[in-house]
Structure formats: C-alpha cells, structure tokens
Amino acid sequence: MKEKESTGFGKELSGYGTLPPGIDCPGDRDGAVKGSRGFDILTNSVVGAQGSLGFVPGGPAENWEVDMTEQQRQRLNAFQARLPQQLSQPRVRWLVWSALALLGIALVWWIHARPAQVAKSGHPGALPSMPVRAATAIQGDINITLDALGTVTPLATVTVQTQISGQLTEVAFKEGQIVRKGDFLAQIDPRPYQAALDQAEGQLLKDQATLKVAQIDLERYETLDKQDSIAKQQVVDQQYTVRQSEGTVKIDQALVDNARLNLNYCRIVSPIDGRVGLRLVDPGNYVQVNSNTGLAVITQTQPIAVVLVVPEDNLPPILKRLHDGAKLPVSAYDRSRTTKLATGVLSAVDSQIDTTTGTVKLKALFDNTDETLFPNQFVNATILVDVLRNTTVIPTAAIQRGAPGTFVYLVKPDDSVAVQSVTLGPTDGERVAVQSGLSPGDRAVIDGADKLRDGARVEVRDPAATASINGEQRSVDPVGAPGEHRKNSNRHSSNGE
C-alpha cells in the first residue's frame, strides 16, 4: 500500500476543533491539497484549506481514511470525547456573569430605593402610607322613616250633568279652568221652563181666590148657625170645602216651586271648587237628564289626598304613634325620588288588610296650594314615623362587610387603621346610626378602604376636600351629611315629629 503523505498541525481555527499534537491530518488523495487546518466536530471530518477531507460517518478515528498509529487513534478519540465539554464552558461562564450582573443591578436599586420608602413612611420596615378620606362620627338624630308607593287621589270628582232636558245655548267655562263653588258653567234654553212657571203661578192665583171665597162663606155660615138660621149640615159642608181649596192651593204652590226650580236648573253652576276638565258637549246640542256623558268633569285639587300602600308588617309602629296622638308627616317625591313635591300629614288608615297582597292602605292629606300634585299621579312617599335622638352617626360609605361581619376601618391617632366591628341602627339617606362599636369623635375611612388591611398605615386627606363622583363635583362634609332626597326604597329609616 502506498504511504499517504500527511502534514501535522496543532492550530485552532475559528469554528473548528484543535487536533492534539502528534496527529497529522491527511492531504488530498491526489496530492493536490496539503496541510489541512483542523477537524470539524459537527461533521466528524478533517477540514483543510480547500474544504472537508476524509469524511468519517461514524465519527471514531478508526474510520478515518488516514494512516495512524494505534496511539494516535486513542489520542484522537479522547480528543473527540472532550470537545463538547470544552465548547460548553464559555457559554456557562457567560450565563454566570450575566446572572451576577443582574443581581448587582437589583442590589443597587434596592439600596437606593429603601431609604426613600423609609423616609416617606416614617417607620423603618413599614409599607408606604395609603391615601384615604375619613369621616368623624358625631352625635346626632336619625329619622326613622318608612317608604311607600302612592297615588294622588282627589277628595272629590264630579261629573257635571244637566238636571233638565233642553238645548244647550251657552258654555261659560274654559277647559282646565279653576272654578269655585257656584261659578256659572253653562246655560240651557230657559223659555219652556219660564212658561211652565208662569202657568203654575196663574193656577195658584186662581185657586187662592177660590179658597178665599170658601173661607168668607164659612164665616157667614158660622154666624148664621149661631143664630139657628141655617142647618148645621151646611156649616160642616162649607168647612170641608175650605179645606179642599187649601189643598188645591198647596198643590199649586208646589207646581210653582217645581217650575221655578226647573228654571233655575237651566243655569248650570259648579258644585265644588276644583279644576274643570275638557268640554264634553258643545253648545247647540240637546242635552237630556238620562245622558251618561255629562257636560264636564270637575276635580278638587286643594286639598288633595295620596293613597299609600305599605306592607302589613310596617303597620304596628304607625298605629302606635297614631294612638299616642302624633301627627306623622308625609313627604311626596316624584317617580325618580329626586324632587320633593309636597309635605302633608297622615290622616287615615284603612279598616282592613288586603289578604291578596299583604298590604294596607293609608291616606295622607296635602294642602297642594301650588298644585304640584295632580290627580292619579304616581309618587314615592316617605312617612316620618319617629326620631332616634342623640345617637352616634357616621356616613354609610364607611360601612364595610366581610368575614368579621359589619365593620369599619377605624383611624388611630398614629395614622394606622384597625378593623372595628359595629352594630348598625336605622339608616337615614347617606347616614346610619351606630348602636355599638364607635363613639362620637372616632374617625372611620369612607374612601380608599378597598386596599386596606388591619394595621395598615394611611394618610388621611382633608375631609372637606371636594370629590368628583361620576363627573359631578360634590363637597364631602365630615359626617357625610345626606342630600334631602333618598334614593333607596322599601327601607326603615325614620323621622319623628
């Protein structure tokens, strides 16, 4: 076998491994290429200046197409086994140094940021203070009220009907006009009834003359009877004749009165004070007594009533107050409960409970001088049942509910908060009575409590600061005093006299 020409090397080139000393890499089989430069560990081949030479598919040196001694082959196999470890060491070192650099950056940041946190909190080891708004509990009165739905009901509604038949000649009222009792409304043609009156009066005069003649005859007969000049029977007959004439005169007088009354009915007047509705019959129509239409409807609006419906369970406290002689104020609000319409007084309680709904009807009277209440109008009503006086009051925004039950975040003098369980009483709008757990002067968080915990430090803002809620500017007072109108319904709140 022809001995192959080989050239030794031991140089390290970029991208290739380094052959150990004493191992030569072969040149080109045809002698065209000499002195290869290295060993490609990816392809298990010797790489020369012109490319790969002597590719070894299996990898071990035994498969190389070169002439090697046994010792050289062993050294080459050991070199191949060490190559992955040698190549991985730079990557490990790079990862280690990168991790150390990141840890150094984090340590520097922590050293610089820590003093700022401590200086802001004022306590080493404490978390930053959380900004909150607090309200101070005060001693005040809570109105115990009862909300109910109501319908405005007029005390009187009259359909104006004609009491005689005839042609309607005049309508004197305007639609929607406020009228008083006795005001002229309409006119029916009076001429037929005037003629009937004249006829009745003529008949009365005739019968009165007949009666007068009978009375004169009776006086003469009685004188003759005393002289025994006439028969006794004639005197008695004349007495009954006078009585017949008196009866006839009374009948005639009744006819006259009836004819005069019919004549008065031709002029239609208002029977009550109230507002006239739309006109139902136009002038020129012939109206009759048995008509179901009527001429107009008059509704009394001053005063006016509101019929309320309340659950039967709420009736006992109302009856107790009424039996004590108290007059319970009632306030009427519009449908959205944003505008107060009128204030009245509870006047009556229905005689029985509606078993189908479990409710009872109440009636309240309102002066309605400004006519803000309109018949059949729906209203929200609030009955002021009683007043809880000299109790601890806080805003409802301070009340929290969770595992401890009902509680507040109590602000301590050192600007930390504590979970304080409370027992609540009646609610009046945005205020609530606290029966136990707080005392007047205690401060409770009303805004910013969602991220608080027991013992957290807080920074209390100015309680009189103006807060923006839903884009609307609202001034918050220390006790969170409510607006005049309540938004919640079907609740026990309260009010006394």
In whole angstroms, what is the distance from residue 351 CA to residue 271 CA? 30
Find residue 48's DSSP bridge partners. 51
257 pLDDT exceeds 80?
A: yes
Short-list 189, 176, 198, CA closest to 374: 176
Find residue 307's DSSP bridge partners. 151, 363
Q: Mean per-residue pLDDT for 447-468?
A: 71
Q: How many CB atoms lie within 10 A of CB 147?
A: 20
What's the whole-model pTM score?
A: 0.58
What is the structure's pLDDT at 100? 83
Beta pairing class for 458-460 and 130-136: parallel
Dihedral (C-alpha) 89, 92, 97, 99: value to the nearest 10 degrees? Answer: -170
- The mean predicted confidence, pLDDT, of the chain is 78
273 pLDDT exceeds 50?
A: yes
pLDDT digits (tens, 9 = 90+) for 291-323: 888 999 999 999 999 999 999 999 999 999 999
pLDDT digits (tens, 9 = 90+) for 133-158: 999 999 999 998 899 999 999 999 99
Helix, strand, coil content of the chain in percent (nearest 5): 30, 35, 40
* Residue 68 · residue 6 · CB < 8 Å: no
Confidence label for 81 from pLDDT (cuts 50, 70 and 90)? low
pLDDT digits (tens, 9 = 90+) for 39-80: 444 444 444 444 444 434 444 444 444 455 676 667 666 666
Cα 363 versus chain centre, distance:
25
Q: Mean per-residue pLDDT for 1-17?
A: 39
In whole angstroms, what is the distance from residue 207 CA to residue 214 CA? 11
Name all domains of the chain by residue range, CATH numbers in brackets: 1-127 (no CATH), 165-296 (1.10.287.470), 298-384 (2.40.30.170), 386-475 (2.40.420.20)
What is the structure's pLDDT at 292? 85
Short-list 404, 430, 416, CA closest to 460: 416
What is the structure's pLDDT at 163? 92
What is the structure's pLDDT at 128? 74
121 pLDDT exceeds 60?
A: no
Confidence label for 450 from pLDDT (cuts 50, 70 and 90)? confident
Q: How many CB atoms lie within 10 A of CB 421?
A: 12
What is the structure's pLDDT at 90? 64
Residue type, 414: D
Short-list 437, 434, 462, CA closest to 139: 434
What is the structure's pLDDT at 89? 60
